[in-house]
A = this chain, B = another copy of it.
Amino acid sequence: MAGYSVAPLLKLIEQFERLPGIGSKTAQRLAYFVLNMPKEQAVEFSNAIIDAHEKIRYCEVCCNFSEGELCPVCKSDRRDKSVICVVETPRDAIALESTREFDGVYHVLHGAISPLNGIGPDQLYIKQLLARLNDDTVKEVIMATNPTVEGEATAMYISRLLKPMGIKVTRLAYGIPVGGDLEYADEVTLARALEGRNEL
């Protein structure tokens, strides 16, 4: 390898290696692919990275990614501002949007409480959520944090803050995933599915 260490190439490989889930072989493959791109495409790629950083900021209301002061959801007058769905990341909001079942608005926490990783409530965008609840427009807050220890803890923490304010706080239903196989569902999920059973 030493004989062929072309510095700019090694640097590019290193950059790809930093990305999550990209090992050294994949990073090599990607770097060579980028190197073999037409120049214009490489410039486009390079600019897309900078543009994303320079043009994207947090929506002043919901803290989701946005190009302007307000994100398209908060700006829209077709969205029900009385229901806020609290998610950990912008990607969770996209996942919920893709169901086309939710017409409320979002609030992005940008993480979950995780003492092991040194992330406490102060590092999350919880203050901004509380600020949205001062007038009486909000009737319900749906906690849609992940079904993990961290997500649970965050949901519990926030619900304890909101309940004294007289706001209805709900949590996404747990249960067996649609299309899944009972046989392969883990016990905790199955137990939750039993617990939350509905009358037919």
A residues with a Cβ closer than 8 A to B are: 1-9, 11-12, 14-15, 18-22, 26, 28-35, 37, 39, 41-56, 64-67, 71-73, 76, 79, 89-91, 93-94, 97-98
Q: How often does this chain occur in the complex, in copies? A: 2
Whether B56 and A50, one on each chain, are in contact in the complex, defined by CB atoms closer than 8 angstroms, is no
Whether A8 and B55, one on each chain, are in contact in the complex, defined by CB atoms closer than 8 angstroms, is yes
Q: Which of B11, B52, B98 contacts A11 (CB 8 A)?
A: B52
Q: Which of B6, B37, B45, B91 contacts A32 (CB 8 A)?
A: B91
Q: Which of B9, B18, B49 contacts A56 (CB 8 A)?
A: B9
Whether A90 and B32, one on each chain, are in contact in the complex, defined by CB atoms closer than 8 angstroms, is yes
The answer to whether residues A33 and B5 also contact, given A15-B48, A42-B49 and a CB cut-off of 8 A, is no
Contacts of A32 in B (CB 8 A): 89-91
A36 nearest CB across to chain B (Å): 9
Whether A43 and B33, one on each chain, are in contact in the complex, defined by CB atoms closer than 8 angstroms, is no
The answer to whether residues A97 and B65 also contact, given A49-B46, A56-B9 and a CB cut-off of 8 A, is no
Q: Which of B11, B45, B91, B94 contacts A51 (CB 8 A)?
A: B11
The answer to whether residues A11 and B48 also contact, given A56-B35, A67-B6 and a CB cut-off of 8 A, is yes
Most B C-beta atoms less than 10 A away, residue of A29, A67, A94: A94
Whether A39 and B11, one on each chain, are in contact in the complex, defined by CB atoms closer than 8 angstroms, is no
